Amino acid sequence: MESIKSATEWDEALSRLLSFLAALHIGGVEHRVRIAVDIVDEARRKHAENPTVAPVEHTMNITLDRLDAWFGRAFANIDVPVAKRVATGVVGIRVTDAVSRWPTAVLDDGPVPDELKATLARVSFRTGPDLAVSSMTPRPMDFGAMETIAQETWHRFAWAPLLRAAVLWTAIFFAALYAYDQFFAS
């Protein structure tokens, strides 16, 4: 008979697995439960062989292995790097909404439908370069031509053009006010 702690750990493993499969949008509820029970049964067998590993860890490792194997079959004719196969497959299923057309195909033990393979093959993935961590030393900002123009303007600032513009606009204002007063005011 299992201990209460062990039963709770297996409940936690099943709950997390169901949440994980739901988050990946893999199948309907019935399909996810069937897959999850099968994976948990396999995890129980592996846990009996190696009880030092937590049930959740066994369960998730088996799930990722099965996803990798299934996407390996789905991408049999496509050049997808092995390290990115699961991520590429999950995105492909999500983008194409393949689960609505093939609700029980993902993680099924049978062959992957040819239409699903073709649908996944039509999705194009292009990621950016891998992140390279480097050391960056601070240096002054270079604003280019705008900085040069602004500095030249500031260093050559003169009050005379500003005063001329102010006098001109003041004269225009008073001329317009006089014209309004003479022709439109009654």
pTM of the model: 0.62
Q: Evaluate whether residue 136 is within a structural domain.
A: no
- Least Cα distance to 6 among 24, 143, 14, 29 occurs for 14
DSSP 83: G
Label residue 176 by pLDDT band (50, 70, 90). Answer: very high
Return the amino acid letter for 167: V
Q: Are residues 17 and 55 in the same domain?
A: yes
- Cα separation, 167 vs 104, whole angstroms: 82
- For 154, the domain range is 145-183
Distance CA 15, CA 8 (A): 10
Residues 60-97: pLDDT tens digits? 999 999 988 888 888 877 777 777 788 888 888 888 88
> How far apart are the C-alpha atoms of 69 and 88, rounded to whole Å?
13
Query: Do 159 and 118 belong together in one domain?
Result: no
Residues listed for the chain: 186
My answer on whether 32 and 72 are in the same domain is yes
46 and 87 in a common domain: yes
* Residue 113 burial (CB count, 10 A): 15
Number of structural domains the chain divides into = 2
Per the domain annotation, does 140 fall within a domain? no
In degrees, to the nearest 5, what angle opens at C-alpha 17 toward C-alphas 115 and 54? Answer: 135
- Whether 65 maps to a domain, the answer reads yes
